[in-house]
Amino acid sequence: MHDTGFHVPGEKRNRFASLYAKGQIAMENNEESDYRFPPRFYSGGGGMVSTALDYAKFLQMLINGGELSGLRLLKEETVQNMTRNHLEGSAFPIGINDTRDGFGFGLGFNIVTAKSDYDKDARVGEYGWGGMAITHFWVSPEDELAVITMEQTIPYTWNLERSIKGLVYEAIIE
């Protein structure tokens, strides 16, 4: 993952996508972005930039149980702990500005624990997370499937993910 980090070095800046506000022109372009400089604090919970290819490699490593291209990066047990629900009873339902029925939380990801109206097309066992600029991913271990959306707009919505998830699952031949 050579294109993932907390800032975009000068030699890669021409590939850094602009950020848009819905219905507006670019809010921030690659020559004005704060991501031109290393941050003062490296947050484990946000602030990274990446490419679709690097993101896909990360997700493939998770699907493979911690291995990518023959290289073991995480123990399989670690990936299992990351991608299973760790919440119980009174911690449900989870939510950030909303209530997410049928969703729990693993070590870094939301985990679908039950079918619900919150995300009708989600499959039990699916995990994922959303980031700024409507970047989102979900993984269905049962289907050995990872999907990444990278919209580059704010504020965050689930619209893109929700509009394609059912179509993606319908396209799978069992």
- The string of pLDDT tens digits covering residues 7-26 is 888 898 888 888 888 777 77
Residue 133 has pLDDT above 80, yes or no: yes
- The string of pLDDT tens digits covering residues 82-105 is 999 998 877 777 766 777 778 888
d(CA 160, CA 163): 5
Q: Report the sign of the C-alpha dihedral through residues 105, 111, 116, 119, in that order.
A: positive
In contact, 119 and 167? CB cutoff 8 Å: no
d(CA 130, CA 153): 13
Residue listed under structure tokens 């693993």: 106
3-state secondary structure of 68: strand
Hey, what are 11's tokens? 């030699």
Phi–psi pair at 99, nearest 5 degrees: -110, 125
- The string of pLDDT tens digits covering residues 26-46 is 777 778 788 888 888 888 767
In one letter, which amino acid is 40? Answer: R
**What's the pLDDT score for residue 174?**
72
The residues that bridge with 72 in the sheet, in sequence order, are: 67
Greater confidence (119 vs 73) lies with: 73
- The string of pLDDT tens digits covering residues 50-79 is 899 999 999 999 999 999 999 999 999 999
User: Helical H runs in 7-113?
Assistant: 52-63, 76-82
Kindly state the helix (H) or strand (E) to which residue 19 belongs, with its residue range.
strand 19-21
Residue 80 has pLDDT above 70, yes or no: yes
Task: Please give the full DSSP string across 114-165, using - where no structure is assigned.
Answer: S--STTTT--TT-EEEEEGGGEEEEEEGGGTEEEEEE--EES--SHHHHHHH
- The string of pLDDT tens digits covering residues 141-155 is 999 999 999 988 888
Kindly state the helix (H) or strand (E) to which residue 104 belongs, with its residue range.
strand 103-105
